[in-house]
């Protein structure tokens, strides 16, 4: 039995990879806040071949994050083969392939979403990685290169034949970028026609949406990205809703009851463990400004927090602002216009 699938049965909500955000500290934090499976941001197979320290650092994880996947991208089969072996040596639990990155610098070389244009190439990449490693392999895709070439059903067929463990679908084409809505009807259709487990992804901002999309699409899991940057309780709330609807057994999950104060304590301690003071301050500024959206006084708070020069000032500002609110005050569940660019 596929161990990743077993994990999804216990908790189907997976943290989407997001470059510059889902670093080691943030993944530990989200795991603590109720998500099931985490994946690193995209890691360059060519960067691994050249032994780039910056690239290797992206693969760092802590034991509490398991099961942890390392996402790799690249166009060169030899580099991908090498990267597969390196990820296996790192002790990660699975390898995730990035076939969704729409960024021109990546697709121009034939990597990321560009691979979707050629299903023969898709098959070659799957074969290369599967022969490089005995780890489970997953893939994250867009629905196609453009509206005229949506080919996820065929891709899923190949992925199943090559022994991949799941296909995660961000319901937009590469041509769409982040415009329009993630097409969950298409995702549902792909799921109905595929033998391989499917994760649906895109535009989930509330627990109600997470559970509704999971049920309506019959997907094996739901991958959530930007939603948890506005609402850090999103995974926990989604799991709790499944328990309430008796879809999940209470005994299988651990309820998390974190206040705003707990959230920032957890974040601060994870970033203290994993990164430099400079990065910790930057990430705390970004996350607290996203979490504050929609709360009264948030515009002024955001101005002040970005002026803060050190961690003491940042934490002082955060405490002063968020202590007034309890978690249920977060109302701004909307991704419209929020982070309309990324690597998948």
* 101 carries an active-site annotation: yes
335 near ligand FMN, rule: CB under 6 A: yes
CA–CA separation, 324 and 318 (whole Å): 10
CB of 111 to ligand FMN, least distance (A): 12
- By Cβ distance, which residue is nearest to ligand FMN? 344
- Residues with Cβ within 8 Å of 38's Cβ and at least 6 positions away in sequence, in order, are 14, 15, 22, 27, 30, 31, 61, 65, 67, 68, 69
The residue from 30, 42, 135, 248 that contacts ligand FMN (CB under 6 A) is: 42
CB of 342 to ligand FMN, least distance (A): 2
CB of 343 to ligand FMN, least distance (A): 4
95 near ligand FMN, rule: CB under 6 A: no
CA–CA separation, 299 and 190 (whole Å): 42
Select 71 or 270, whichever has its Cβ closest to ligand FMN. Answer: 71
Site for ligand FMN, residues 130 to 189, rule: CB under 6 A: 140, 170
Q: Are 184 and 216 in contact (CB under 8 A)?
A: yes
CA–CA separation, 298 and 289 (whole Å): 8
Residue found under tokens 């961000």 = 170
Q: How many of the chain's residues bind ligand FMN (CB under 6 A)? A: 25
Select 170 or 285, whichever has its Cβ closest to ligand FMN. Answer: 170
- Residues with Cβ within 8 Å of 185's Cβ and at least 6 positions away in sequence, in order, are none
Please identify, among the stretches 126-134, 183-191, 224-232, 313-321, the one whose residues bind ligand FMN according to the rule CB under 6 A. Answer: 224-232
Please tell me the chain's helix, strand, coil percentages from 3-state DSSP, rounded to the nearest 5: 50, 10, 35
Active-site annotation, residues: 101
Binding positions for ligand FMN, rule: CB under 6 A: 16-19, 21, 41-42, 71, 98, 100, 140, 170, 201-204, 224-227, 335, 339, 342-344
């Amino acid at each position: 039995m596929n161990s990743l699938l077993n994990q999804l049965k216990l908790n189907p909500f997976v943290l989407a990879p997001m470059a510059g955000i889902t670093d080691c500290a943030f993944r530990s934090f989200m795991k603590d806040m109720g998500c099931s499976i985490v994946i690193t941001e995209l890691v360059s197979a060519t960067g691994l071949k050249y032994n780039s320290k910056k690239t290797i650092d992206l693969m760092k994880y802590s034991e509490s994050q398991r099961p942890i996947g390392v996402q790799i991208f690249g166009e060169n089969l030899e580099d991908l083969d090498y990267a597969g072996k390196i990820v296996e040596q790192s002790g990660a639990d699975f390898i995730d392939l990035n076939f969704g990155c729409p960024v021109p610098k990546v697709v121009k070389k034939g990597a990321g979403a560009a691979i979707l244009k050629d299903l023969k190439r898709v098959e070659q990449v799957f074969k290369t990685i599967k022969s490089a490693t005995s780890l489970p392999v997953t893939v994250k895709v867009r629905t196609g290169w453009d509206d005229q070439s949506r080919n996820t059903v065929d891709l899923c067929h190949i992925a199943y034949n090559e022994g991949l463990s799941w296909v995660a679908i961000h319901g937009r084409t590469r041509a769409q970028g982040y415009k329009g809505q993630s097409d969950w009807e298409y995702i549902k259709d792909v799921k109905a026609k595929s033998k391989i487990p499917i994760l649906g992804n895109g535009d989930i901002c509330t627990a109600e949406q997470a559970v509704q999309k999971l049920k309506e699409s019959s997907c094996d899991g739901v991958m959530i990205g930007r939603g948890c940057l506005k609402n850090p309780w999103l995974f926990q709330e989604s799991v709790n809703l499944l328990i309430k609807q008796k879809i999940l057994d209470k005994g299988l999950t651990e309820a998390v009851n974190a206040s705003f104060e707990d959230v920032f304590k957890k974040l601060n301690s994870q970033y203290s463990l994993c990164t430099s003071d400079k990065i910790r301050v930057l990430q705390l500024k970004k996350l607290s400004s996203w979490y504050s959206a929609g709360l009264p006084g948030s515009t002024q708070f955001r101005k002040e927090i970005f002026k803060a020069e050190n961690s003491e000032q940042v934490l002082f500002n955060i405490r002063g602002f968020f202590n007034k609110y309890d978690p249920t005050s977060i109302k701004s569940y909307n991704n419209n216009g929020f982070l309309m660019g990324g690597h998948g």
